[in-house]
Amino acid sequence: MRKKLLLIVVLAGLAVVSCQNQKTESKTDMENPFFTEWNTPFGVPPFEAIKEEHYVPAVVAGIEEQKAEIEALVANTDEPTFENTILALDKSGSLLNKVTGVFYPLSSANTNDEMQAAAREISPMLSKNRDEISMNPELFKKIKSIYDRRNELGLDDQQIRVTEKYYQDFERNGANLSPENQEVLKGINGELSMLYLQFGENLLNETNKNFKLVIDKEEDLAGLPEDVIAGAAAEAEKAGETGKWVFTMAKPSWTPFLQFSEKRELREKLYRGYFMRGNNDNESDNKEIIKKIVKLRDQKAKLMGFTNFAAYKADVNMAKTPENITNFLMELWEPSLKMAQEDVKAMQAIADREGANIKIESWDWWYYGEKLRKEKYDLDEAELKPYFSLETVKEGIFYVVENLYGLKFVKRDDIPTYHKEAEAYEVLEADGSHLAVLYMDFHPRDGKKVGAWSTGFRDVTYRDGKRMPYIGEIVMNFTRPAGDAPALLSFDEVETFFHEFGHALHFMFVDGKYDRTIGSVPRDFVELPSQIMENWAADPEVIKVYAKHYQTGETIPDALLNKLVKAGTFNQGFVTGEYVAAALLDMDYHTTENTDIADVNQFEKDAMDAIGLIPEFVPRYRSTYFSHIFSGDGYSAGYYVYIWAAVLDTDAYDAFKQSGDIFNKEYAAKFRTLLETSGAYDGMDVYRTFRGQDPSKEPLLRKRGLL
């Protein structure tokens, strides 16, 4: 996700004056790319010139200049005005933003031991610097002066909004606390920053290093499609296991194995490897880290005057209270659980008919779910994948975006990239003018986190009245090409590609004068721009554009397409249920009255027993690999936001459908305006302006078959 959208702390992006003001001009500084202008196409980072040893010195220099800039702002004896206080604060930060804008995206997509060591050094420095700024009493006094007089100074609505946001940010970060409590908060923040880092490092080790399933007998490949076998052979070759087959924690590896492998004991072994990550009582175990994080967050919330951490987080989101969130989730949990229980009965019946002599367990769900889908809809995942090559799906996305917004994507080989697998595209408006640069990075590798995300090397901003366009990337972990076949995607991966592209569109389109508010939306609004794209991905009109057989070029047959559409609500009890279970677990951690958690596994079990989670599946994220909430602050007490935004995205797409044209130009223009102005107004107000009414849950429930 984009840095600004992930900000919880006001000044996470604030930094220093520009590199032209650097005082030190040693040979080392002159060789550091962060201290020079980037004469690259569109100002993208000169990746080949940036070395691991450049980051820490640049951050240190940035912090020193940051201090000088804040001191100058505070020392100004003129009466505080919007320009000399709010605007000066808003437009500071070019060097530190420049450094972190490269460091953090690469820490996720292309890390190594040196990057991780730098992160351990940088993280506490940034935390300390943010705290010193956000708790600076003289700076807050000036901000409060503008805030108290905001309706008397002749400010326009956006100047008032950015003033209110900065005041709120400083208040939420301890500016109103006593000096003694500010010191306590600084300690908490510093300790949390290191715990987040350690959680993420442990998970990376558990995912990429500590487990792999090695198969050396061909008979143990029974049931697996040829492309899956070929991919496992390529993975084995890379791992030095020539002549064998290797399956890993990367989703494109373990998911098809669980779907198709006839070897139940191996399915169990692989899935246990996945759901036990961070829970193996080894050097990468995350249980003690979780205990500390939960306790520290609760202490922080109470310092800030909130009952618990969930209340602290919800206060600035659309949901407003933990009670609203939990009630919303339970409305979805109950029909999801009921549907999942019916699916379990049907899968058990299949196993019984086949004489398997088993009781369905969590490692059986994908395998018997695939059989159930074939039985109900005569639909086989292996039958679909040849129509979803990576390249044709990409062309389908370009088709949708061009028809909605007129954008064109031009691949550029002259733009520097950070890895040979990353592709660079220039994004052009309908009139041919430049809009953005977008990198795409598709496949798993060592040093790359699992999952999929969208982030920016440079967010949209204004400098000296000039709009600086977005430079960003979308990162996935899709199945690699195998043998003579291209990369073939599951339909879940197709939707993931559309999803991350939606985030990227949001980041490209955002506009506004002030860095604090440009594109900065409530956490439970963030997934609207991404999830709405999944609706186009699944629309038959669009599928027929991009679903082309990779060997024959044949468009997906109507009969197969109809099966896919009819199966759209299949397994939604599980899909929705495992997600909601994880979201409720997140809320339990951050609303518990007893934060002295003795046993993380028992806490999780108690939370899941309380909602009646059936033993046939586990939450989408178990505690020890729940990186959304424990490897950073972004989605903590906020994992619910994906399905909250799903109400918005299905309601918004329903507007297009009801108009009779899924590329309705009027609605597309209004939705682009929604994306451009997001952050300029409250989230629900922006949505109502687009839709003309409050969002309805009915389209979501209908789409998932939960009515």
- Alpha-carbon distance of 593 to 290, in angstroms, equals 16
Helices 683-691, 641-659: axis angle to 10 degrees equals 20
Question: Residue 613's closest CA among 272, 351, 333?
Answer: 333
Q: Which residues of 107-121 are buried (b: 16+ CB within 10 A; e: fewer)?
A: bbbbbeeebbebbee
- Centre a 10 Å sphere on the Cβ of residue 399 and count the other Cβ atoms it contains: 15
- Centre a 10 Å sphere on the Cβ of residue 281 and count the other Cβ atoms it contains: 7
- Centre a 10 Å sphere on the Cβ of residue 423 and count the other Cβ atoms it contains: 17
**CB proximity list for 442: less than 8 A, separation 6 or greater:** 390, 421, 476, 478, 487
Total H helices, total E strands in the chain: 29, 9
- Is 25 catalytic? The answer is no
- Give whole-number Cα distances, 285 to 279, 309, 327, in Å: 5, 24, 33
CA atoms within 13 A on the CB side of 221: 19
Question: Residue 233's closest CA among 252, 206, 214?
Answer: 214
Amino acid found at 565: V
Question: Residue 170's closest CA among 75, 295, 15, 304?
Answer: 304
- Centre a 10 Å sphere on the Cβ of residue 705 and count the other Cβ atoms it contains: 16
Sign of CA dihedral 296, 300, 305, 307: negative
CB 546 within 8 A of CB 392: yes
Question: Residue 471's closest CA among 536, 530, 405, 418?
Answer: 418
- Alpha-carbon distance of 221 to 262, in angstroms, equals 8
- Alpha-carbon distance of 374 to 247, in angstroms, equals 25
Alpha-helical regions (H) of 631-682: 641-659, 665-677
Q: Residue 423: beta bridge partners? A: 440
Q: Residue 468: beta bridge partners? A: 461
Instruction: Locate 564 and state its tokens.
Output: 């896919």
Q: Which residues of 677-692 are buried (b: 16+ CB within 10 A; e: fewer)?
A: bbbbbebeebbeebbe
**CB proximity list for 453: less than 8 A, separation 6 or greater:** 1, 108, 474, 475, 500, 503
- Give whole-number Cα distances, 398 to 2, 585, 668, in Å: 21, 37, 15
CA atoms within 13 A on the CB side of 423: 14
- Centre a 10 Å sphere on the Cβ of residue 606 and count the other Cβ atoms it contains: 12
**CB proximity list for 160: less than 8 A, separation 6 or greater:** 150, 151
Amino acid found at 453: W
- Alpha-carbon distance of 4 to 526, in angstroms, equals 11
User: Nearest-5° angle of CA 337, CA 339, CA 341?
Assistant: 70
Q: Check 370, 493, 500, 616 and give the catalytic one.
A: 500
- Centre a 10 Å sphere on the Cβ of residue 529 and count the other Cβ atoms it contains: 30
Instruction: Locate 400 and state its tokens.
Output: 């949708």
- Alpha-carbon distance of 31 to 473, in angstroms, equals 26
* Catalytically active residues, by annotation: 500
